[in-house]
A = this chain, B = another copy of it.
Amino acid sequence: MSVKKTTCSITLFLLMHGVYAQQKLSGFTGEHAQQQLELEARFDKSLSASSIGNNIKTLSAKQHYLGLPRDKWVADNILQQFKTYGWDAKLETYQVLFPTPRTRVLEASYPAGYKAVLKEPALKEDPSTGQPDELPSYNAWSADGDVTGELVFVNYGLPEDYEYLERLGIDVKGKIVIAKYGRSWRGIKPKVAQEHGAIGTLIYSDPKDDGYYQGDVYPVGPYKSEYGVQRGSIMDMVIYPGDPLTPGVGATENAQRLERSAATNLLKIPVLPISYHDAAPLLEALAGPVAPESWRGALPFTYHIGPGKAKVHLKLEFDWKMVPAYNVIATMKGNQYPDQWVIRGNHHDAWVYGAADPVSGLAALLEEAKAIGELAKKGYKPKRTLVYAAWDGEEPGLLGSTEWVEAHATELQQKAVAYINSDGNSRGFLGVGGSHALEPFVGEIAKGISDPQTKVSLFERKQAADVVSAQTTKAKKDILAKKDMTISALGSGSDYSSFLQHLGIPSLNIGFGGEGAGGEYHSIYDTYENYSRFKDPGFEYGVALSKVAGHAALRLADADILPFDFRSLSKTIANYTGELISMTDQLRESTAVENQIISGKAYQLAGDASKPLKAPATKSEVPYIDFSRLQNALAALDKAAHQLQRTGNSQLPTARRDSLNKALYQAEQQLLHQEGLPNRPWYKHVIYAPGFYTGYGVKTMPGIREAIEQRNWEEAEAQISIAAKAITRLTQTLEQLK
């Protein structure tokens, strides 16, 4: 017994004084860890909520969308701030296509005299609103068009909604559809409408989704009022984002450009967003079947699907101009590894004033740059190069970041250690998405920063919110048992997309939310007044964002060994694979049962003769699919990842350590498949992509998952093979690092 006891004590000693001390800060040896924590403490002290508030106020004071002189003014202001803070900063400009509206007409023969207002009124309670020449409400990349047709209500306008229309015997061919905002990225709605033969699309904000149903409307509360409209891009970004004319290459002055008609991410039908004030008379005039419960909104009448008496006339014309997109790129050179770049970005363009989106995130980024600048003035030099970027043209389709990434692709795949993104920020709970090899790294940061309202760690507050909102006892128990932070997978919707999904650069997207919900998104009401009343009064969550992103940037810049942990990635991919397998099994079972129900005529027998509804079509039976290649590849990855983590790398000679670090940050590039996803070669990552029919929403292991969802079994097997090979490449890379 005593021998055993001694062994235990020795192990304990080692743990306490060796490994534990080293693990205090992942990637840093004991002494460096202490230095880094002290550096972060000084960084934190420099952050100022009022300075963030001032930047939000200044940069959102006037509208500053892409192409406006004020857009350039904002870029110059940011440039000047970086320079003042001691950074080496410049503008990098691309020439991109960008349409703005010239004609917008929406009228109808019934209800008699109907003509849409298409105008968000100024509010006396919010002096920012109602400035001259506010950008009219529109969807960027709508086609020019002049169409007249019957109207059909299509719920959220997703594929399953059209399946239901088909059962009702309602065809949208030659008709104009009206869809609710929500559930999917807005661009999916006209895309699916176009696929079904619609000649135009209206998208409106139902008060159930972000209006009076949710809470008091602006200016009493933060929710969308009667005339509020969500602007926004409807570029088919799931094909490729960025300038539509220059897929895959930077939109430099002399880049080769497609004809606009050849751009595969542009739709062919006119699309217009409208307020519920403008939508209600059209919806109320619809005849046809009553919409099923899940389609109904909060307007005070019975929702019908249509068509009705009304013929709707929609006329849209746009000014298709080439405009400059000004990315602001600030650099602080690394003193040990100048060719290893830690990149941090947030966009600066806004649809109108954009106090929340994007200026709140941008102001936090600028605050980080200021604080790092102050550290530098007192002698701090990052080991690796810090690149701080403010992107232009994010709103129309991630233009600025995508063109920059495409222009610098080769260099970035060599040098980029990671990309840290933020966008609009709010009050509430820390949310992080990104590369799962960085999951433990993010958790360590979240445990080291206090929540402004409760003073517990960001991790602990998020955990509390999760456990309170979990719906089942089992889910609550699982959360209570969880010791580590979980990060989500990234789809699209902000500037990380090209870094992660086109180049395989490890990426994070960081923001706070959950207590700042409202209806101002992409409307003229996204103002400083609104933001400082409802989103983050006091701007303390701006400071919290600066801390999270700043600590991440500084740790990645200074780490002895970069804190990638491929065990987390391996575990996450294994979970995704498990999901895919059980999804396939469930689909097999539900298909068989549903086909049995259909062929037994239960739908006909159960149907209400006064409400005709066809039975759904039977679907092809689901075969058994061979996941074994993927499972074997994952088993090997898991082994390699664990072996790598067991190796004590911190004692490596410097030269060896340098090559290890480079290999670590380049490892995720092994997960790229150079031919890309089926029908969208721009997207190369085999683990993360925006969904073809969800848009912003991620599809993990997208090639396989979407093949299964679309019941393309051959493609599913082919994509399993592709994913397995990519994972095996990653495994081999990690094995070489041992």
Contacts and interface: CB of A to CB of B under 8 A. Distances in A.
Interface of A: 207, 212-217, 221, 223, 290, 296, 298-302, 428, 451, 453-454, 456, 460-461, 463-465, 467-469, 473, 476-477, 480, 514-515, 586, 589-590, 593-594, 596-597, 600-606, 608-610
A216 to B, nearest CB: 5
A453 B608 CA distance: 9
Contact of A301 (B212, B514, B594): B212
A467 B597 contact: yes
A515 B610 contact: yes
A593 B468 contact: no
B602 A473 contact: no
B290 A606 contact: no
Contacts of A215: 290, 302
B302 A464 contact: no
Given A454-B605, A465-B606, A593 B480 contact: yes
Nearest 10 pairs of A and B residues by beta carbon:
A464-B605, A464-B602, A465-B606, A300-B300, A464-B606, A468-B606, A473-B590, A515-B608, A212-B302, A215-B290
Given A461-B606, A609-B453, A477 B593 contact: yes
B454 A604 contact: yes
Contacts of A290: 215-216, 221
Contacts of A606: 461, 464-465, 467-469
Contacts of A464: 600-606
5 contacts: A207-B300, A453-B609, A464-B604, A468-B602, A515-B608
A468 B597 contact: yes
Nearest to A428: B608
A597 B302 contact: no
Contacts of A451: 605
Given A467-B597, A480-B593, 7 more contacts: A217-B302, A456-B605, A463-B602, A468-B597, A468-B603, A473-B593, A515-B608
A460 B605 contact: yes
A548 B600 CA distance: 25
A302 B609 CA distance: 37
Given A217-B302, A302-B217, A467 B212 contact: no
A607 to B, nearest CB: 8
B300 A593 contact: no
A232 B67 CA distance: 65
Contacts of A605: 451, 454, 456, 460-461, 464-465
A608 B454 CA distance: 10
Contacts of A221: 290, 302
Nearest to A465: B606
Given A216-B290, A480-B593, A480-B597, A473 B586 contact: yes
Contact of A597 (B476, B514, B594, B600): B476
A594 B477 CA distance: 9
Contact of A296 (B213, B301, B428): B213
B480 A589 contact: no
Contacts of A212: 300-302
Nearest to A290: B215
Contacts of A608: 428, 514-515
Nearest to A615: B468
A454 B609 CA distance: 9
A149 to B, nearest CB: 25
Contacts of A610: 515
Contacts of A460: 605
A463 B299 CA distance: 36
A301 B208 CA distance: 10
A290 B609 CA distance: 41
Contacts of A590: 473
Contacts of A300: 207, 212, 298-300
A445 to B, nearest CB: 19
Nearest to A616: B468
Contacts of A213: 296, 302
A312 to B, nearest CB: 22
Contacts of A600: 464, 480
Contact of A216 (B302, B465, B603): B302
A610 to B, nearest CB: 7
A119 B680 CA distance: 63
A505 to B, nearest CB: 34
A214 to B, nearest CB: 8
A21 to B, nearest CB: 29
A537 to B, nearest CB: 9
Nearest to A602: B464
Contacts of A473: 586, 589-590, 593
A606 to B, nearest CB: 4
A309 to B, nearest CB: 15
A602 B428 contact: no
A409 to B, nearest CB: 43
B216 A476 contact: no
Contacts of A596: 480
Contacts of A603: 464, 468
A464 B290 CA distance: 22
Nearest to A603: B468
Contacts of A476: 593-594, 597
A118 to B, nearest CB: 21
Nearest to A301: B212
A461 B602 CA distance: 8
A280 to B, nearest CB: 10
A593 B468 CA distance: 11
B302 A602 contact: no
A601 B480 CA distance: 12
A515 B613 CA distance: 14
Nearest to A598: B468
A60 to B, nearest CB: 22
Nearest to A537: B610
Contacts of A453: 609
Contacts of A602: 463-464, 467-468
A372 to B, nearest CB: 31
Contacts of A593: 473, 476-477, 480
A217 B302 CA distance: 8
A589 B475 CA distance: 12
A11 to B, nearest CB: 31
- For A212, A290, A464, A586, the residue with the greatest tally of chain B CB atoms inside 10 Å of its CB is A464
A487 B467 CA distance: 39
A206 to B, nearest CB: 11
A297 to B, nearest CB: 9
A514 B610 CA distance: 12
- For A215, A604, A605, the residue with the greatest tally of chain B CB atoms inside 10 Å of its CB is A605
A207 to B, nearest CB: 7
